[in-house]
Structure formats: C-alpha cells, structure tokens
Amino acid sequence: MSTSRLPRILIVDDSRIVRATIIKRIRDRFDVREEVDGEAGWEALLIDPTLQLVITDHTMPRLDGYGLIERIRGSRVGRIRDIPVIMISGDEDEASRQRAKDAGATDFIAKGTGTAELLSRLDTLVRLGQSHVELEQARAVAITDTATGLLTAAALRHQGEQMLSHARRQHGHVGLLMIALDALPEPVGDDVDRPELLTCFARTLGGMVRREDALARWQDDAFVVITPGLDARQTCLFGERLRHAVAGSNFQSGARALDVTVSIGMACFPEDGDGCEALLAAGSKRLTEGQAVGGNRVCSTALEVSAPAHGGIDTALAQLAAGREQAATRNLPELGRALLPLLRLMERDLGLGLPLAEIERKLAAANDGKQSSIN
C-alpha cells in the first residue's frame, strides 16, 4: 500500500530509541513524521497540513509535551487546535497525568503498551479526528450559500435569533430588510446570465452591510439583511441607502449594461414581532406589496412606502454618472416636477431667465401622455 494513502502522524520525542520503537510497530499502518522536541513538533504542525495525530513525550528540551499541547489547543488554526494528541506516559504521578489532561491531551499510552492495543487506539483517534474535520467541513457548507458566499437561510435564522435574544435582554432593536431584484424589462431579461448577475448583486450588498449584520441569500432572487441596534427609522434609511446603491451600480451581463433596481420589505423588532420568523413573514409581505405597485421602493408598512417608483433625483444622477442615460430618461416628467421648486428658487435669486411657465406646461403634457399610455 502506498504511504501517501496512509494516515499521517507526528511523533515528538527527544529519544531516538523511543521514536524508532514506536515507528517499527506502526509503520505498516501509518505514515510517520519524527521531531526531536516540542518546538520542532510545533513547526511541523504549522507547515504540514497532512498530519492527523500527534504522539508526544512529556519531558523534552526547548518545549516540553505539556507546553506543546497547550500551544496546540490554543492555536487559531482549526486543523491544529482540534488534532488528537496522545502523551507517552511512564512512571509519572497522577498529578502529571492530570496536568496533561488539563492541557488538552486526548489519550495516554504507556511505553510498554502492546502493538495490537497501540494500533487500535491510534486507529480510533485518527477516525475521530477525521470525523471532526468532516463535520466542520459540512457545517461550513451548511452555513454558506455556494453560489454567492453569503449565509444560508438556516444560518440566518440562527444568527437572527441570537441577535433578538440579545435585544430582548438589552431592550434594544433589530431591523430586517428583505431585498429582491425587480424584473428586468423584456427582452433584456431573457438574455441575462442570472447566476452572474446574482453574484455581482451579492457583492454589492456585501459592501454595504456592517460586520455585525447578517446577510443571507433567502430565495432565488431574494436576500435578507438582519441588522442589530437599528430602530424602525434607521432601518428604513438603511434600506434607502441600499436601494440607491443598487440603482447607481453598473451591473453587466457580458458586454451589456443592465439597469437593476430592487424592492425592499422592512420589519423591526419589537414592533413587528418577537421572533425571527415573525420578522421574516412581515418583511416578505411588505416586499410583495412593494413589488405589486411597481417595485424600486422600500415598503415599511402595509400603508407606507418610503420612495416613489421612479427612484428620485439621486437615483437619476447616479445613473447618469454611471453612463446609463436611458435609465434616467424613463421618468423625466416626474423628475422635472420634483426639480421645479429648485428651478423657481434659482430663477428668483439668480435671474437665469428660465422659461418656467413653458417648462411647467411641457412637463404637465408629458405626464398626461404617460398616464394615458399606462391606462
């Protein structure tokens, strides 16, 4: 059998005779690396990710076995911190064995342990260590959406409940935003690389949230942010910032620039419920309501929508800055009416000679024409 397929273990002992004796008994079942003291053993663990188990003596120069185990258990590297460690025991007293246990030793073997027992215990601990690695890998997959790298729905629920538990104790607030891409106009939507768009969209959202926020992919085109410490007003303002950031971003599908907007349903603790499921339900309901009346808005209650469908002057300016003139021209009548108070002020104080009456007449006519086409 090729040694590359054998489980790989590290033996750390300053006695060449002890190392040779152990290796002779296990070499048919294990691939072995030897080191002469704790410092050398620690360096081996740092550079060799294939090691699955450590056997160490307790008394060695430079760094003894107790110090090596403490360093292993204190490591920030998971594969090192969780590796099984066996200490070779001799005639030391019970206090020494307890010290090793307290440091984090997994098991002990006496220098006179029989070969069959030694192999059996090594096999068991290697399997235990491998099971732990596989469990951690599965847990990492379970909390991460593979397409976007964001949290999964299950992980979001877990983190959300933790945030809510803290908020209850501190009499604080938690905000939730459920965000969905609005439908792209036909026939553009038919030609879009949807996975590419979602990945880009997820990156945009990820750049907007705080480290303490939880951001997850909720459904195919929906995402959720749970943000601790924000009350209803602050959560709504946060949603507006997200909406404007998306509208002003330059999304691409191949060589095609896309005009992407989002609808956002908002919910808050304690106003909308005591648990994560209640907030998710409220956010989902309001998201659906916002999409039903045209999208591109933050819907904070069943009767309150915080932004008009055309997105406002800030959105139009962001679209122009991104070179997306066509997107900005779709709502020129509404934008013009929004600008009229500013134009009147400029005419009054600066005397620009603006034909305000003509501008108002043409804006009214353009709006009437748009309403007729909708009806």
311 pLDDT more than 60:
no
Helix (H) / strand (E) element for 263: namely: strand 262-269
Q: Give the pLDDT mean for 364-375.
A: 59
Question: If pLDDT is split at 50, 70 and 90, which confidence band does 324 have?
Answer: low
Question: If pLDDT is split at 50, 70 and 90, which confidence band does 63 have?
Answer: very high
Query: Can you say how many angstroms the Cα of residue 98 is from the centroid of all Cα atoms in its chain?
Result: 40
Q: Show the tokens assigned to 109.
A: 């073997």
| CA–CA distance, 68 with 45 (Å, rounded to integer) | 11
Residue position matching structure tokens 């803290």: 166
94 pLDDT more than 60:
yes
**Mean of the per-residue pLDDT values for the chain?**
82
Q: Which residues, 6 or more positions from 307, have their beta carbon under 8 angstroms from its beta carbon?
A: 240, 243, 296, 297, 298
pLDDT for 223-256, tens place per residue? 999 999 999 999 999 999 999 888 877 776 666 6
Question: If pLDDT is split at 50, 70 and 90, which confidence band does 139 have?
Answer: low
Look up the pTM and report it: 0.49
337 pLDDT more than 60:
yes
Q: Show the tokens assigned to 14.
A: 């300053």
Percentage of residues of the chain with pLDDT beyond 90: 33
pLDDT for 266-286, tens place per residue? 999 999 998 999 999 999 999
Q: Give the pLDDT mean for 159-184.
A: 91
- Reported as half-sphere exposure (CB side, CA atoms, 13 A), residue 204 has a value of 24
42 pLDDT more than 50:
yes
Structure confidence at residue 167 (pLDDT): 92
Distances (CA, A) of 301 to 87, 244, 270, 347: 63, 20, 14, 39
Q: Which residues, 6 or more positions from 252, have their beta carbon under 8 angstroms from its beta carbon?
A: 200, 258
Helix (H) / strand (E) element for 124: namely: helix 115-143
Q: Give the pLDDT mean for 335-341.
A: 79
- Scored b (16 or more CB within 10 A) or e, 42-80 reads bebbeeeeebbbbbbbbebeebbbbbbbbbbeebeeebb
Structure confidence at residue 79 (pLDDT): 86
372 pLDDT more than 70:
no
Structure confidence at residue 282 (pLDDT): 93
Could you tell me which residue, 110 or 274, shows the higher pLDDT? 274
Helix (H) / strand (E) element for 235: namely: helix 232-247
292 pLDDT more than 70:
yes
| CA–CA distance, 338 with 349 (Å, rounded to integer) | 19
Could you tell me which residue, 176 or 109, shows the higher pLDDT? 176
In sequence order, the β-bridge partners of residue 181 are: 262
| CA–CA distance, 164 with 29 (Å, rounded to integer) | 51
Q: Counting every residue, how long is the chain? A: 375
- Which domains does the chain possess? 3-143 (3.40.50.2300), 153-330 (3.30.70.270), 333-374 (no CATH)
Distances (CA, A) of 285 to 266, 279, 281, 299: 9, 10, 6, 9
**C-beta of residue 242 within 8 angstroms of C-beta of residue 264:** yes
Question: If pLDDT is split at 50, 70 and 90, which confidence band does 375 have?
Answer: very low
